[in-house]
């Protein structure tokens, strides 16, 4: 076990070094971008230009309105800056010198940013050539180390993220160590565009969001709702198999519930406005946990009852700024696949191991084979006894090792109320997605004074674990759409089979086939439109239907169906019962299809 841990840590260190090197390149490239923009538009006002997970950006205030047509000119000037191989030089100024410097340059945003720096901290700068930026670094040694970059897109960004402040122009870009890595990433990005769940959701008639009428709120169309129903049925069945009980809780709660939980103190800006009911304030729930805690408190609990595992598909509502909304990935109303486990100190390691195993099994079932864990430990400011933190953290790490998952430790990165594990999965084109969370909570048991009677006859505080597998059904569905490019495997497909009669002469037999499929609980439709077979096949392909059953005179005469697979093409003819058996075996095995470029 110790050897496995050492190997994982070694790999993690290498990955961190790799990411740190990439971050330096991208941060440096942001400075190169600002240098180029100032050469072309000296009157530009600058704000900030940090690295990001995918690249970098820089924010500008400029009368000239950038368009993608400007990218060619800007990139050409950036290449000149790179070719000049300017040194990134570190320097310091006093607060007064720094303010005088930016006052002279007429850079108001930089002046204000100086005030953000605590009095006890140094005011630091990095210079490359003629460009000097307020910056803590780090950077690569010289601009010549920035070898492969690309400007990507434009966006509007309010200064400091406040809608009352000026709206700046943001230029996004990316940078890599070499052109090979850059080209690979750009190819992946183009593939990601083809898989965009917002486009596919519309093309396949899965869901809709009216940004004007109800931004951030999702309408599930019949096909999307069918897939959701399949996911929910699977989720419930697996939870019962794994020793969970289901609960249902209200959508609103009185203000005093959210005061006790701490949400009104720490999360009020994310909650929807209160409503008055019989003179009492009620809030729409942003989370399910306080209600699960209330269920725990509804009776006297004994150690003999523990662990208690309660799960809920609970719909919650959180206020998100309009500019942050993004398809199914960032919404205002969503259904969390929440669960809470209440257990004793002696039970926590086994419980966490089982949760990790459960999560891993779920993700592999849905076709995600690469799973990585991120363990966040105790921050400086935290609630709960240090011994409980240590015990919980050791249990989380032991569970990761037991499941054999690669992992990374974020020292001090835990929430103030408990350590946690975040699981991330890689999709078909190599993107990493934040998914499951396993979070200890030492806050709510204290706030609600949770207890159980131990074997010694005394009251003890239970351990409480928050756990979400998918995170939310909406976001998970968006990830699924993009992972499969809309071409769901048979067990998830909203329409598994489409019957294609060649002419009206085969309609009666085609209807007989359809009824046989439906009797076998296969999701099937029939294309009765007039037109040639090629057109019907094309429509079924565009709708991502896994199987087409083609029926001509020969099939009608022999009481057979000619099978066409969406990816594999024609597969021959057989009797309907034989096809049903094959499809049911595939459905039962929950086989995934080969990943593909979306049509």
Cβ neighbors of 540 (< 8 A, separation 6 or more) are 498, 500, 527, 548, 566
**Of the candidates 216, 170, 207, the residue with the CA atom closest to the CA atom of residue 322:** 216
Active-site position among 24, 31, 263, 466: 466
318 is catalytic: yes
Greatest mean pLDDT among 111-115, 265-269, 588-592: 111-115
Element (H, E) at 361: helix 348-365
Query: Are 515 and 459 contacting, i.e. CB atoms less than 8 angstroms apart?
Result: no
List pLDDT tens digits, range 160-178. 888 889 999 999 999 999 9
Question: How far is residue 163's CA from residue 166's CA, in Å, rounded to a whole number?
Answer: 8
Is residue 597 pLDDT above 70, yes or no? no
Neighbours of 231 (CB within 10 A): 19
Considering only CA atoms, give the Rg of the chain.
Answer: 29
In terms of C-beta density within 10 A (0-12 exposed, 13-18 middle, 19 or more buried), how is residue 419 classed? Answer: buried
pLDDT at 17: 60
> For 499-544, how does the pLDDT look when each residue is reduced to its tens digit (9 = 90+)?
999 999 999 999 999 999 999 999 999 999 988 999 999 999 999 9
Q: What is the pLDDT of residues 123-136, one digit of tens each?
A: 999 999 999 999 99
H helices within 155-296, ranges in order? 179-194, 197-203, 222-241, 255-261, 263-266, 289-296
DSSP state of 90: E
- Which of 86, 336, 439, 560 is flagged as catalytic? 336
Asked about 27 being catalytic, the answer comes back as: no
Single out the catalytic residue among 289, 439, 506, 556: 289
Q: Of 47, 59, 337, 338, which residue is the catalytic one?
A: 338
Cβ pair 197, 328 in contact under 8 A: yes
DSSP code, position 346: G
* Residue 340 annotated in active site: yes
Q: How confident is the model at residue 146 (pLDDT cuts 50, 70, 90)?
A: very high
Phi, psi dihedrals of residue 252, rounded to the nearest 5°: -130, 160
Strand order in the sheet with 275-277: 252-254, 280-284, 275-277
Per annotation, catalytic residue among 420, 475, 498, 566: 420
CB neighbours of 539 closer than 8 A, spacing ≥ 6? 527
Q: Pick the catalytic residue: 340, 378, 431, 483? A: 340
Task: For residue 283, list its beta bridge partners.
Answer: 253
338 is catalytic: yes
Instruction: Note the pTM of the prediction, 2 decimals.
Output: 0.85
Note if 86 is an active site residue. Answer: no
Q: Which of 110, 318, 475, 536 is catalytic?
A: 318
**pLDDT, tens digit, for every residue of 558-586?**
999 999 999 999 999 999 999 999 999 99
**Would you place residue 16 in the very low, low, confident or very high pLDDT band (cuts 50, 70, 90)?**
low
pLDDT tens for each residue of 50-93: 999 899 999 999 999 999 999 999 999 999 999 999 999 999 99
Q: How confident is the model over 191-240, as pLDDT tens digits?
A: 999 999 999 999 999 999 988 778 999 999 999 999 999 999 999 999 99
Backbone angles phi, psi at 224, to 5 degrees: -65, -40
407 and 400 Cβ atoms separated by less than 8 Å: yes
Active-site residue, 538 included: no
């Amino acid at each position: 076990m110790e050897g496995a841990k050492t190997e994982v840590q070694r790999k993690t260190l290498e990955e961190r070094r790799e990411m740190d090197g990439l971050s330096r390149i991208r941060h440096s490239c942001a400075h190169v971008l600002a240098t180029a923009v100032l050469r072309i538009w000296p009157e530009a006002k600058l704000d900030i230009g940090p690295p990001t997970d995918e690249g970098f950006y820089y924010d500008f205030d400029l009368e000239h309105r950038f368009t993608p047509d400007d990218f060619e000119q800007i990139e050409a000037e950036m290449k000149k800056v790179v070719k000049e191989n300017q040194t990134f030089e570190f320097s310091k100024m006093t607060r007064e010198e720094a303010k005088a410097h930016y006052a002279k340059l007429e850079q108001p945003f930089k002046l204000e940013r100086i005030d953000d720096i605590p009095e006890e901290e140094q005011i630091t700068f990095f210079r490359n050539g003629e460009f000097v930026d307020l910056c803590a670094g780090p950077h690569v040694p010289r601009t010549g180390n920035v070898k492969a970059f690309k400007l990507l897109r434009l966006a509007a960004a309010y200064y400091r993220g406040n809608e009352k402040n000026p709206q700046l122009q943001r230029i996004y870009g990316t940078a890599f160590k070499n052109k090979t890595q850059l080209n690979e990433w750009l190819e992946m990005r183009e593939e990601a565009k083809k898989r965009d769940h917002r486009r596919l959701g519309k093309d396949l008639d899965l869901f809709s969001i009216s940004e004007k009428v109800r931004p951030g709120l999702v309408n599930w169309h019949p096909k999307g709702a069918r897939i959701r129903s399949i996911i929910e049925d699977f989720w419930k069945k697996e939870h019962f198999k794994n020793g969970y009980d289901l609960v249902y809780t209200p959508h609103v709660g009185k203000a005093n519930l959210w005061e006790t939980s701490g949400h009104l103190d720490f999360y009020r800006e994310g909650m929807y406005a209160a409503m008055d009911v019989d003179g009492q304030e009620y809030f729409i729930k942003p989370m399910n946990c306080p209600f699960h805690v209330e269920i725990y408190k509804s009776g006297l609990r004994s150690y003999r009852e523990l662990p208690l595992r309660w799960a809920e598909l609970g719909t919650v509502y959180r206020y998100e700024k309009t500019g942050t909304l993004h398809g199914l990935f960032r919404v205002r109303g969503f259904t969390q696949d929440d669960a809470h486990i209440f257990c004793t100190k002696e039970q926590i390691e086994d419980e966490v191991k089982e949760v990790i195993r459960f999560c891993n099994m779920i993700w592999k079932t849905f076709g995600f084979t690469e799973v990585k864990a991120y363990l966040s430990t105790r921050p400086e400011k935290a609630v709960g006894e240090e011994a409980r933190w240590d015990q919980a953290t050791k249990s989380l790490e032991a569970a990761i090792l037991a499941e054999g998952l690669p992992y990374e430790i974020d020292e001090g990165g835990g929430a103030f109320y408990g350590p946690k594990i975040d699981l991330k999965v890689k999709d078909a084109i190599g993107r990493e997605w934040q998914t499951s969370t396993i979070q200890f909570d030492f806050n709510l048991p204290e706030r609600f004074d949770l207890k159980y009677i131990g074997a010694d006859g005394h009251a003890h505080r239970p351990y409480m674990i928050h756990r979400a597998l998918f995170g939310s059904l909406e976001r998970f569905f968006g990830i699924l759409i993009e992972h499969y490019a809309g071409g769901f495997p048979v067990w998830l497909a909203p329409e598994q089979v489409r019957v294609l009669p060649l002419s009206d002469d085969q309609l009666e037999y085609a209807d007989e086939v359809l009824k046989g499929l439906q009797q076998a609980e296969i999701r099937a439709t029939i294309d009765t439109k007039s037109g040639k077979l090629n057109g019907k096949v094309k429509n079924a392909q565009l709708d991502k239907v896994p199987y087409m059953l083609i029926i001509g005179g020969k099939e009608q005469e022999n009481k057979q169906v000619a099978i066409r697979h969406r990816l594999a093409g024609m597969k021959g003819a057989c009797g309907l019962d034989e096809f049903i058996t094959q499809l049911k075996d595939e459905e039962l095995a929950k086989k995934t299809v080969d990943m593909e470029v979306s049509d």
